[in-house]
Structure 1
Amino acid sequence: MTQLTDKKKITIMIAIITSMFFSSINQTIIGVAMPRIIAKLGGMDYYSWAITIYLLTSTVASVLVGKLSDIYGRKPFILTGIGLFSLGALLSGFSTDIFQLITYRAIQGAGAGIIMSTAFTAMGDLYEPRERAKWTGVMSAVFGVSSVAGPLLGGYIVDHLDWHWVFWIFLPIGFLAFALILLNFPQVEKRKGESVDYFGSLFLTTTIVPMLLAFSWAGDGAGKYAWSSWQIIGLLSVSVVSLLIFVLVEMKVKTPVLPLGLFKNSIFTVSNLVGFFLNAGMMGAIIYVPFFVQGVKGISPTMAGYVAMPMSIAMLATSALSGQLITKTGKYKKMAIGGLLLMTFGMVMMYFMVPSTPIYVLVAYMIILGLGMGIAMPVFSLTVQNAVAPQQLGVATATSQLFRNLGGTIGIAVMGSVMSSAMAKKMTDLSGTLGQGAASAPADPALAEKLALFSNPQNLLDQPKIEAALQSLPPQAQGLFAQMLDQIREAMSYAITTTFLTGAIVAAFAVVFALFLKEIPLRSGKDKGQRMEMTEEHAERIKAQKAQG
């Protein structure tokens, strides 16, 4: 597709970006609305499943479609992804109970995984890496826009409209994206001599699904099962056995779903390791920023969206600018390391926050974090695509997406355990003071009930409830319970900032791996004589084959 005219390429890119925006805005708009949706449908015990099932189907679909799109072309798969996502969104809006919502979210997740995998790969089909860098920045900026607009719009909808519209409001964009892809995206013929790796696909799925379930459910705090429980050990065991079988299958089949030879390419391997640790540190830490804003600082959910907005805007700006700079210079390694260092520094600074930290200081730290993420994140999809042969573009991009998804899932699970442990430790340290407060409280059952309310850190996230309970207390008890509330906030602050430090340590691993990233020239449209700039490893293999021949 690199032979298409520039006008045709831009038209196709508009279609791809439209489909990506449709997928990403639907993900971000739902996050803030899910608590209200669950309140309407019931089934709080199954709340995590509505999120977990989406992650599972998205991850599996994205990696499986990679090789298939290499064989059959991108067009049928991106159309299938948009169709599945639209169907899942439509049906989710008609849900009457939590189990229907979980089922329809699974369909939506599969569509999202296919869209994200094929969209980045299709961009690789259209442009050589040198020109691709600016479009990578633009596509990353799409996520920045959706992360700003989604939560604000989602909060407005559940406050002023029926919750069903959270799923339906952007369906027209889905129809538009489908039409644009259908009319403009070229269809390619099936690649001859290649077949579908059914057994590899099966065992790759049985490797990923139990692993993600184990990390999603594990944890002694908010987790469903303890790390040492037979359920978690069993899931991880199934995942390990499936991985071993998967490796054996991939070594034997003619057309593997995930060619293991790709990992002999150091750029491919290092880039995926960086992506894993980058997402583990970033997602695992950022997910707890709203806890600090709402629970520790006592800011309403609507205002919390505005607090997070500067970080998203910073990420949007630097992702677009870094793409332009890479296109102009062809250099990316120093930029990637600088972005990772900036991101790590932002999280380290967030570790030093306390309940009295002004909100503008938190915003400043989050801007630093956003600047770093915007610089670093687009680079490693680009390096993966630049390091492999064009016929492996789909599977390479899908594998990159897989490592990022795994990093995010595992990071969230690990940070959850860190937060629970830190909270328990701090609460134990404060138990003496809290016990003295309880002992000095009047012997009144109603007051004892309110004391229990204040001593549960989770209730800090419901500020109206806390304020109403505080105002209902007699004057002589208000001062005591306000003091206890400050101590609970201190415990939550300690726990959350500990997760920020852990996220910074994990992100530091990404910095270390990035130091080993080889920087090879980015291919450009000026390279008329060859389709791909060979990596050192590839060149050495060619020389060895010639010597043997």
Structure 2
Amino acid sequence: MANHVASKAPETAESVDAVVMTHRQILEALTGLLAAFFTAILSSTIVANALPTIISDLKGTQTDFAWVITAALLANAATTPIWGKLADLFSKKLLVQLSIVIFVIGSVMAGLSDNMPLLLTARVIQGIAMGGLTALAQAIIGTMIPPRQRGRYSGYMGAVMAVGTAGGPLLGGLIVDSPLGWRWTFYVCVPLAVIALVLLQKTLKIKHVRRPAKIDWAGATLLTAGVSLILIWVSFAGKADYYDWWSWQSALMVGGGLLLLVAMVFVESRVSQPIIPLKIITQRTTALAILASVATGVAMFGSSSFLGQYFQISRGATPTQAGLLMLPLIAGNLIGSVVSGQLISRFGRWKIFLVAGSVLMIGGLGLAATIDHATDLTLVGIYIAILGLGLGMLMQNLVLAVQNTVKAQDIGSASSSVAFFRSFGGAVGVSVLGAVLANRVSELSSSGLAKLGVPAGGSASSGSLDLVDMPEPIRNIIRAAYGDATAMIFAISAVIGVVALLSVLFIKERALRKTIDLEPAQQGADTPEAATAK
């Protein structure tokens, strides 16, 4: 792939957004950044245990449940490459602050929502902001810290991610169970965002060099439209009120979506500054890391999105109890992220953690695929703790592997590309898994109701999450249906997780460089000669 990368030596320090910084300077600079990142993560997880209550209150369905999550993830994924490109062109500090402002607007709108369309719109706005915060956090770390030391600081980011992921469902559950109500699961993030904004202004001081701005809006539009069309098809296909899997509507939507994505690739190969640089994502390490990120996104977002629903609907837990029951997943994530980051910085070896993380992720998903509505909750906790360990080892370290192979000026685009595909995998995963869950619940509910002599149809078998007004015998059948159907979600995710394992096995391990930018001898980046196979 050497011919795809500029062969000239890297430019002087003026071409890079940062100079070498001390540990103390880095920690000071990271304070506000990590606060902003924490707010973004918290906002995406705090609704996990509130969603059953929100959907019930707004008279939504299982499809609506999936789309409240998918809307934010899709907006996140679609805008992440744009934010990454902007990070290569404009002040990263200003962009992070802009992301926070957009996030506050979306959060207030979500809290004020009184119907599903308004809530989905607010979630899209939140997703746009989260795309910026996620991409920019990775890009700023990449421009401040040499890869050899980055594992240590990526570990800090992983810890923040783990705490936000852990605290989100628990805090959301507490808020829903309190007199504040579910709307405050959105409002509570606003003061946190303002605090992050103030901290960023005071602590984040990184050098910026102005470059000509040229954004690939055509590519971004084609990408968003293509992905959205396919996800809409997945969400509604096979439902009686819409269209069959094999129908002219399905053919039109799938064909149209694929055509838009092909057009996007064509545009990206022609424009001078694409949002997803093909020369970067076709490098061996980046391409394999992207495949692994898609699979990891399905596992991460799919599991966390439907676990809270499993605990509340199937096992009768309150939102607060559901948050506590998810702590093993988060504890595993925290330990995996922090420990692997520290060990990578100490020994400079990173591939072993990607392989081990993939194995643990598949193992945890496989074990979780055995659960039903009566599984001992202690066993469920053990299974998701193993899953969390694997996710913690994978997420930040996949980004680290990519950042180690690209020039400093491309770190924003490369990091955001990996983050994009992880969010894209999550959006597709939640949408597809949500559709699978809804169909499976409908089948199991109809079967259970038939045994009671109750005709199928109505809210009891249409995916409604409003169980309050159902007679107890019917409510018990719906709870059992959700519990038994959830296993299929994990089984599918485990199969997809094998893609992550195969991808990281074929990644070549290169020694982590000790400089922020590539040295002249490394400009071939991803060639076998420059790589040291593990």
Deviation (angstroms), 1:92: 3.2
Q: Which moved more, 1:180-189 or 1:41-50?
A: 41-50
1:442 match: none
- Provide closer, same or farther for how the CA distance between residues 300 and 96 of structure 1 changes in structure 2, counting only shifts above 3 A: closer
Q: How does 1:115-514 map to 2 (within 5 A)?
A: 115-158=133-176, 159-186=178-205, 188-192=207-211, 195-215=214-234, 217-220=235-238, 225-420=243-438, 422-423=440-441, 437-438=452-453, 456=461, 462=467, 469-470=471-472, 492-514=482-504
Q: Could you tell me whether the CA contact under 8 Å between 1:381 and 1:400 is conserved in 2? A: yes
Q: SS at 1:30's partner residue?
A: coil
Whichever residue aligns with residue 258 of structure 2, its letter is: V
Aligned match of 1:516: 506
Distance 1:290 1:221, change over 3 A: farther
Matched residue, 1:32? 49
Partner Cα distance (1:220, 1:56) in 2: 22
Is the contact between residue 423 and residue 491 of structure 1 (CA under 8 Å) also seen in structure 2?
yes
Match of 1:21 among 38, 41, 66: 38
Residue aligning to 1:105: 123
The total of aligned residue pairs comes to 511
- Please give the alpha-carbon distance, in whole angstroms, between the structure 2 residues aligned to 1:530 and 1:407: 33
User: CA 1:250/1:359 → structure 2, altered by over 3 Å: closer, same or farther?
Assistant: closer
After superposition, the C-alpha distances for 1:281-303 in whole angstroms (9 at most, x for unaligned) are 34334433334433443333332
Aligned-pair CA distance for 1:269: 0.3
Structure with greater contact order relative to length (CA < 8 Å, sep ≥ 6): 2
Q: Which residue of 2 aligns with 1:69?
A: 87
* Alpha-carbon distance in structure 1 between the residues aligned to 2:526 and 2:166: 42
**Deviations 1:257-277 (Å, cap 9, x if unpaired)?**
222111331000000001111
Which amino acid counterpart does residue 10 of structure 1 have in structure 2?
A: L
Do the aligned partners of residues 102 and 367 (structure 1) sit closer, same or farther apart at CA in structure 2, a change above 3 Å counting? closer
Partners of 1:121 and 1:393 within 8 A in 2: yes
Instruction: Return the alpha-carbon distance in structure 2 between the equivalents of residues 87 and 73 of structure 1.
Output: 22
- How much has 1:17 moved relative to structure 2? 0.2
Q: Which moved more, 1:373-382 or 1:158-167?
A: 158-167
Structure 2 contact 82–215 (Cα < 8 Å) conserved: no
Q: 1:461 to 1:300 in 2, by over 3 A?
A: farther
Paired position in structure 1 for 2:11: none
The change in CA–CA distance for 1:99 and 1:413 in structure 2 (over 3 A counts) is closer
How far did residue 251 of structure 1 move?
A: 2.5
User: Whole-Å Cα distance in 1 between the matches of residues 509 and 388 of structure 2?
Assistant: 24
- Taking only aligned residues, the RMSD between alpha carbons, in angstroms, comes to 3.4
| Residue identity matched to 1:174 | A
34-43 vs 274-283, which moves further: 34-43
CA pair 493-198 structure 1, distance change in 2 beyond 3 A: closer
Residues 291 and 461 of structure 1 are in contact (CA less than 8 Å); yes or no, is this contact kept in structure 2?
Answer: no
Q: Contact conserved, 2:73 with 2:426, CA < 8 A, in 1?
A: no
Kept in 2, the 8 Å contact 1:120–1:397? The answer is: yes
Q: 1:56 to 1:417 in 2, by over 3 A?
A: closer
Contact 1:296 1:460 in 2 (8 A): no
Give, in whole Å, the separation in 2 of the partners of 1:129 and 1:115.
Answer: 21
1:282 and 1:423 mapped to 2: Cα distance?
Answer: 22
Equivalent residue, structure 2, for 1:530: 519
Q: Kindly indicate whether the alpha-carbon contact (under 8 Å) linking 2:337 and 2:392 is maintained by their aligned counterparts in 1.
A: yes
The aligned counterpart of 2:15 is none
- Cα deviation for residue 250 of structure 1 reads 2.5
Give the Å deviation of 1:490: 5.8
Query: What CA distance in whole angstroms lies between the structure 2 residues aligned with 1:121 and 1:264?
Result: 19
Pairing 1:7–2:24 present: yes
Residue 58 to residue 421, structure 1, CA distance change in 2 (3 Å): closer
Deviates more, 1:140-149 or 1:268-277: 140-149
* Cα pair distance change 1:80/1:532, threshold 3 Å: farther
Question: Does the CA contact (< 8 Å) of 1:339 and 1:376 recur in 2?
Answer: yes
Task: Give unpaired runs (5+ residues) of structure 2.
Answer: 1-17
Amino acid at match of 1:197: D
Aligned with 1:501: secondary structure?
A: helix
Q: Which amino acid aligns with 1:29?
A: I
Q: Is the 8 A contact 1:17 1:139 kept in 2?
A: yes
Does the 8 A contact of 1:276 with 1:404 survive in 2?
A: yes
CA distance in 1 between counterparts of 2:287 and 2:517 reads: 28
Percent of residue pairs bearing the same amino acid type: 28
CA contact (8 A) 2:292 2:504 kept: yes
Verify the 8 A CA contact 1:212 1:406 in the aligned structure 2. Answer: no
What TM-score, normalized to structure 2?
0.84
Question: What SS does structure 2 have at the residue aligned with 1:160?
Answer: coil
Deviation at residue 152 of structure 1 after TM alignment:
2.2
| 1:114 to partner: Cα distance | 0.7
- How many Å apart are 1:410 and its aligned residue? 1.9
Counterpart residue number, 1:475 = none
2:228 counterpart letter in structure 1: V
Residue 311 of structure 1 contacts residue 367 of structure 1 at CA under 8 Å; is this kept in 2? yes
Does the CA contact (< 8 Å) of 1:314 and 1:371 recur in 2? yes
- Cα distance in 2 for partners of 1:379, 1:265 equals 17
Higher relative helix content: 1
Shift of 1:219: 4.0
**Contact (CA 8 Å) 1:221, 1:416: kept in 2 or not?**
no
Moved more, 189-198 or 242-251: 189-198
Unaligned runs of 5+ in 1: 439-447, 471-480, 542-549
CA distance in 2, matches of 1:222, 1:320: 47
Counterpart code for 2:488: T
Rounded Cα–Cα distance in structure 1 between residues aligned with 2:367 and 2:415: 33
Q: How far, CA to CA, are the matches of 2:385 and 2:214 in structure 1?
A: 48
| Residue pair 1:285, 1:415 contacting (<8 A) in 2 also | no
Q: Which residue of structure 2 aligns with residue 544 of structure 1?
A: none
Q: Provide the residue aligned with 2:13 in structure 1.
A: none
